[in-house]
Amino acid sequence: MKRTLLTGAAIMALTSSGAIAAGHGALMFAPGEGDFSWDSFTAFAEANDFSGQTVTITGPWTGNEKEKVEAVFAYFEHATGATVNYSGSDSFEQDIVIAAQAGSAPNLAVFPQPGLAADMARQGLLTPLPEGTAEFVAENYAAGSSWVDLGTYADADGNDQLYGLFYRVDLKSLVWYSPEAFDEAGYDIPQTMEELKALTDQIVADGGTPWCIGLGSGAATGWPATDWVEDLMLRTQEPAVYDQWVANEIPFNDPRVVAAIEEFGYFARNDAYVNGGAQAVANTDFRDSPAGLFTFPAECYMHRQASFIPAFFPEGTTVGEDADFFYFPAIESADLGRPVLGAGTLFAITSPSDATTGFLEFLKLPVAHETWMAQGGFLTAHGGVNLATYASDSERAQGQILADATTFRFDASDLMPGEIGAGAFWTGMVDYVTGADATDVATAIQERWDSIQ
């Protein structure tokens, strides 16, 4: 079997030359080609025949992402003889509820966040995943029990069932920095939160500004601060406490939550620590906030933000050279492992069939992940994939962070009621960075939560 790695550049060259077939049902890489996990794919193909059957799927991927995922689905078609019909929609959340209630749902739905899937499970609109799926995820996904928990919801009778199989993952626990500025100053990448704080102080002592932070986002101003607080909750408390906070089983003004908010304040409310001073944090647009990494001399040395932020770096920026990232480190003294904050998409059954069950088995194969990894714009928590198939060194390094995670938790604000997670939490964080007391802010958020229950 040929086992040579196709790099991102080679993939692009093959695509431009037409050597890789494109379009529905075509294969980007012939089985045996490249450094993909073909053995399990071959065994799957030999064991499954769904000729004449169709699997219908709907989800949020459109445009270029739709093309990429259809290139993945082509391998299921090739292996089994089935047909996969995928439809992407910008209004997926509304469309899937309407279709399911009308009895016209597709076989599978791809949910961008667990909240809607949990709501549909409670309404009896989802079918539990096949027996053994939970065990597979726990054994084969990094921080496996986290992914089982995130995909488990109460059914119409109140019984917990596994409904969601996570596929694509977004990573938020990242700190972006200027390699050139770090090298010039002789700074090392911090491995613990204690070292990160020491570095923050050292940069100030050397006459620099450690952080660029911006919370501005139009009507959504404040949301970047919620990611900070969520990351810090995972670094100061057990995952179970994080889960209780998300579900409001402990109040928002619980001392443990307030402490996480104040940990954010350690970085954001100190004039010496933030580019422009603490008062600039609330008024700086999050898209503009990393700009200080690219000035000379650097206006700031670090910027905590998710994996998408390079889209707002100056044109021509090369990640890994002009800017790079490291894991937002854990608190060594807390001994809570390597928690990771993020988001992701999950597959759930909205209309079962034999071929649908077979498709879910296909999603367990490394190749179902590697063939999108090789196209770029994809991270996975599947522990069986070959990290070498990532299209770039940057994505490979982010994949390694996911692989090393001991705990994964979904963005808390996305799981809270909209009035809280996309309202009171956002505005409360703006109040906090502009001088309000953390306990007072948290109490106001809890009072809003109480008012909607």
- Phi and psi at 263, nearest 5°, equal -65, -40
User: CA end-to-end span of the chain, whole Å?
Assistant: 60
Q: Quick check: is 318 in a domain?
A: yes
Q: Quick check: is 264 in a domain?
A: yes
212 and 162 belong to one structural domain: no
292 and 366 belong to one structural domain: no
Nearest of 16, 36, 67 to residue 374 by alpha carbon: 36
Given a contact cutoff of 8 angstroms between Cβ atoms, the answer to whether 108 and 359 are in contact is yes
Q: Quick check: is 3 in a domain?
A: no
Number of domains in the chain: 2
- Quote the pLDDT of residue 11: 40
- Quote the pLDDT of residue 298: 94
Arithmetic mean of pLDDT, 47-61:
97
Q: Quick check: is 2 in a domain?
A: no
Given a contact cutoff of 8 angstroms between Cβ atoms, the answer to whether 167 and 364 are in contact is no
174-225 residue pLDDT tens: 999 999 999 999 999 999 999 999 999 999 999 999 999 999 999 999 999 9
Instruction: Give the type of residue at 17.
Output: S
Q: Quick check: is 202 in a domain?
A: yes
- Quote the pLDDT of residue 200: 98
Assign 18 a pLDDT band (cuts: 50, 70, 90): very low
Q: Quick check: is 234 in a domain?
A: yes
335 and 347 belong to one structural domain: no
Is the per-residue pLDDT at 20 higher than 80? Answer: no
CATH number at residue 363: 3.40.190.10
Arithmetic mean of pLDDT, 45-49:
98
Q: How many angstroms separate the CA atoms of 395 and 369, rounded?
A: 13
Assign 26 a pLDDT band (cuts: 50, 70, 90): confident
Is the per-residue pLDDT at 259 higher than 80? Answer: yes
375-403 residue pLDDT tens: 999 999 999 999 999 999 999 999 999 99
331 and 195 belong to one structural domain: yes
Q: Quick check: is 236 in a domain?
A: yes
Three-class SS of the chain: CCCCCCCHHHHHHHHHHCCCCCCCCCCCCCCCCCCCCHHHHHHHHHHCCCCCCEEEEEECCCHHHHHHHHHHHHHHHHHHCCEEEEEECCCHHHHHHHHHHCCCCCCEEEECCHHHHHHHHHCCCCECCCCCHHHHHHHHECCHHHHHHHCEEECCCCCEEECCEEEEEEECCEEEECHHHHHHHCCCCCCCHHHHHHHHHHHHHCCCCCECCCCECHHHCCHHHHHHHHHHHHHHCCHHHHHHHHCCCCCCCCHHHHHHHHHHHHHHCCCCCECCCHHHCCCCECCCHHHHHHCCCCCCCEEECCCCHHHHCCCCCCECCCEEEEECCCCHHHCCCCEEEEEEEEEEECCCCHHHHHHHHHHCCCHHHHHHHCCCCCCCCECCCCHHHCCCHHHHHHHHHHHHCCEEEECHHHHCCHHHHHHHHHHHHHHHHCCCCHHHHHHHHHHHHHHHC
- Quote the pLDDT of residue 204: 98
CA-to-CA separations, 11 to 61, 65, 303, in angstroms, rounded: 22, 17, 32
Is the per-residue pLDDT at 87 higher than 90? Answer: yes
416-430 residue pLDDT tens: 999 999 999 999 999
Q: Name the residue range of residue 311's domain.
A: 174-340+413-452
